[in-house]
Structure 1
Amino acid sequence: MDNEIIIESELEEDTAVWETLLRRVIPAALAAEGVGVPCEVDVLLTNDEGIRRINLEQRDVDRATDVLSFPMFEYAPGRPPEDAADADPETGLIPLGDMVISLERARAQGEEYGHGTEREVAYLAVHSVLHLLGYDHMDDGPEKARMREREEAILGALGISRRQM
């Protein structure tokens, strides 16, 4: 599948290792969810201040977080786009939306949870892809459980475990 993963960074550090990881994880998550049409996902790598600013501007929430997802379309969980009806006529790609990841927060959480930054960045990317595809976890009910199950299945298929690093 010819998905396009567009990655930008607001950070001064070299993000090549994270870009490589995201270019592996995001398409794998799309494939695992049965997305059979070419898609575009835009990713912004930032720090806690950058994601706090975006969270305030876009959601009126004045705090940093680990990842933000801004879907372009509303899909039902488990029912991804199947045809190119939503595709951009110029590119032929379906623009699924944007994700913003705070590498600062990912590093802290990877250390806190004991599985390292690589696993945390991969988890946040998969989590965001699922949001772009309509999954939600706003309550502690079955939708949250379904989302967590899909996250673990996708990461497991990639060989990215909680014990990594």
Structure 2
Amino acid sequence: MTDHHHHHEHEGASLADAAKATLTEAGEQWTDMRAAIFEVLATFEKPASAYDIADLVSQKRGKRVAPNSVYRILDLFVTTNLARRVESANAYIANSHPGCLHDCIFLICDNCGNATHLDNDKLSQSVRDAAGEAGFANVRPVIEVRGTCADCD
């Protein structure tokens, strides 16, 4: 049984507005570069690497954007809940509900690379509890399940 909490899924301009609001509420600035990186990140339907994002932002801006700069901004986006990092792929995906803080579970297709995001607070809380019992603090569960999606099966 999966526990779901309901949140508004944003897309397009609504997603950019929600991301900007979330970032500024966290005390950070919504700069032109951060906006450009988020806009490109939000266009990907599957997790994207910093290099993929840097290439597209470079094309849009007409000048090279270094992947290291993109990594720093993506790290900020993960910290402020604007993006999720798919650890096993070293790739990122925009969070479609940046105002809602929770742990994510990714189902990642080994064939096509799509990542489906699930919310299951009961499962992630169990992981947090087990880590706490083992003496870990500030636990941030990263749960990724690899397999084959229904489209590729």
Is the TM-score greater than 0.5?
no
Question: Greater Rg, structure 1 or structure 2?
Answer: 2
Question: Given the two structures, how large is their TM-score scaled by the length of structure 1?
Answer: 0.27
